[in-house]
Structure formats: C-alpha cells, structure tokens
Structure 1
C-alpha cells in the first residue's frame, strides 16, 4: 500500500511543475486524495458493500470536489490535476498514466444498464472542461483538447478539439529531410517552442499555414537561384548573388533588445511640457 502511495506522489512530480516536495503533494493534492478514497470504495464495491461504498464516495466528493463512482476502473499513476468538477462514471475505464484536468466528465449518453461510459487507454491526456461521453474508446497516447465534447472513438496518438470533437492530427508524422523543415526544427529546439508549427500535433491552423508558407518561400528561393545560374550560362546577365538567410542567433536578438530598450528609454525621457 505504501509503495503504491509513493508511486502516486512521484507521478505528480513528473507532470506538475508546481509540485515542490513530497509532503506538500501528499497533504495538498485533492486529486491524490480522491484516488486513494476511490481505491477503498472500489474494494468495498467489489465486496458487495454497495451502500457503504457510495456513501464514502459522496464524502470524498465533499472534500475534494471530485466524483468517482466506486465501480469505475482506474489504472496506475493516474493524475487528476486541480480536480474540481471531475466526474468519472460507473462503467468508465482508465488505463495507466492517464492525466485528467479539472472539469473533465467521463459520462454516459444512455440510461440503459451495461457499458455506457468511455474507456481511456494508457497515456491519454484530457484537457480542462472536456466531456467524453458514451461507451467509446480513446486510444493510447491521445490528447483531448480543453472544452471538447467527444462522442466517437479516437485513434491512438490523435489530437481532438472542438464541439463535437474532431481529430485534427491522426499521428505526428516524421519531419521531412528537406533543409527548410530542418531549419525550423533547429529553431524550435534552440528556443524551446513550436516554431512555425514545427510540431505536427499542433492543431493551430494559423501556425501550420505560416510553416507551409515558409517552406514555400524557401523552395522559391532555391528555384530562382537555379534559374539565374542557368540563364547566366546561356549568356544572360542575371545577378547570382544569394539572398541573405534569416539567421536568428542570440546576437541578433540581443541587438534588437538593446534597440528596443533605447527607444523605450527615449520615450520615457520625453517631457511633453518642453
């Protein structure tokens, strides 16, 4: 039992940057408290103590704001972040290493008995306020966007957003080996963000469009250089000078920041009364 509790606490450290030490997480994580109460209630439910299990689950909901039916099935290292408003139905099944944020509902769409709640496979991440309804399966490693309403099966490693939920990325493909996309990947790795949709599971259509335009411009530059060389070989007089590359190094950013500071300082020193 203590090994399982220790495993739960360490799983929080892996997914919550606000976690500072063991005892802080142990005493102040309502998601963990709700899961520990659920395990006790689940044992009571399996033993046939249905009323007692439901009563204790209600008490746990009062203290944590998280409602977990004692008949639900939850795997190891499940992490409920913040937790307020989370509802997990009776026939819901949650795999290992699943992450749920606040306001998530794993609900049913029918009053019929039997399987009526969703199944979340290993490694699924469900954003805040999302609703997953019905006896559907969310494939391993899938991501459900915040406030999405999902009523259909989701394949593994897919990203789902919107109402109703739609798959915007079936699976993150490998980056092509062309120089433009390699440059975007290098910029993203250097500065720690998804530069121009270099991350292919990014559902932002604007960022994806910017990335495609950059690839298109890079290809046009290469073709213009080839045409210029070919025309010069035929006796033309086309400038073969290469276009300057966009180099985002640290010195450029430092110079730009210094200029910006100088302009701000000049603005602050300006006295309108003079």
Structure 2
C-alpha cells in the first residue's frame, strides 16, 4: 500500500509539472502578436523583444482563403513559411537598407480594408488561392492606389492558371509578362542580371523541380503606366530561401539570391 501511495504521489507530481509546462507554453503563445493565427502557420517563432516597435515600413503577409484549407490537418496554404521566413527577411532588409522597418510582419486578412495601409504585401502558394468578388474588388482598389504584391511558391500550369483566374477577377485586362534582364526591378540595389532559381528546401538537393514546375520564371503584371504592380516568382520558392537562411543544410547561394530579389522588389516599389 505504501509503495502504491508513493507511485500515485510521483505520478501526480509528474502530471502537475506537465500541466504547468502546458499552461506556460499557452501563456507564451498568447503573448505573441499573431498568436491567433499560429494554428494556420507552418513555422511560427517567438516575437523579438521589440516586436511592437512602430516604423515607417511594414512587411505585409496576405492571409487568403483556399479550397485546400477545408478539412486540413496542418497549416493553411497562406501560412506556408510563416512566420519564420518573414522574420528573417525583415531583419535582413533592416541590415541591408536604410529603411526603418517594423521588426515583425503584419498579417493582413484579404477581407480587411487595413490592406490599404500596407504598400508592400507578400503572398505564398497563390496557385491555390480563392477570391470572393468583394476580395477581388478590394485588391483592385489596392493596386489602383499604388499597392505592390509579391507572389511566390506556386508551380506547374494548373497552379498558374488558378493564380491568373484570381488575377482576372481583380482585373480582367491584366497580362503577365516575363521580366527582362535589364528591368529596373533587377537593378535597384543588387544587379540580378545573372539570376538563379531559388528552390524549396524539400527539393534543394535534388532536381529542384517541385510539383512539376520545370522552368523558373520571373514575371510581372504592370499598370497602365508600365509600373510593376505584382512581382511573380513562378516555379521557385523564394520564401524557403528566407526561411532557411540560418540552416546549414540549405545552400547559402540560394538564400542570398532570395534575399537580394526581395530587397530589390521592396526598393523598386518605394522608388517607382
């Protein structure tokens, strides 16, 4: 009986410690700025100490809907690479430019008018997005007011067609074109005439082809004046280049390319 009581006592103490640890973890999660979205993120990380510091530039991350999110077991499509990739890119953008940058990304719901407060927004896996009429109209107004969108991490012709279907909801006359080597977007900070594909971490040590997307493309959609509105990274994964910049297993060459490309697109959007 005495041994049984001792076992119960130790078991109770262990359960108490486990419960305390779970409560502490939950409290820490609730303290994070974007904790309400963490169940939808692939790679959530802790906030930096100065997370709430205000700055003139905010990196927007677009939270959209996807049919693939219904009945999902893990993260949402918009949440791929979020939010570790955004945090690393923000920190490097701060170091490599003179832009005063907010230390963390700003997650913006596609259904919110708050998007008009963000001049630069990033979206991943847009080959699986789904836009309602009101969301398409809001994005049309966003571009009409000078907003800039960078899209990434979608592959193959099916995903391209679905992405462009959303674009044509926004603007039926929109036309995608290949960026030429001498385009100003490739020369704002870094000279990117000799570009290389940025592969996903899951294919970086193989043929670098993901979901059948064979050839990498750097494309754009421009406004009537010729200014880039949307920077398109197709059949590549720039977000992984950011996310795994601190991972020794991910080649530095591709992370450097991803960072340079992102920096150029940010500066282009602010100077053109």
TM-score bracket for the superposition, by shorter chain length: under 0.3
| TM-score, normalised via structure 1 length | 0.24
Specify the structure having the higher radius of gyration (Cα): 1
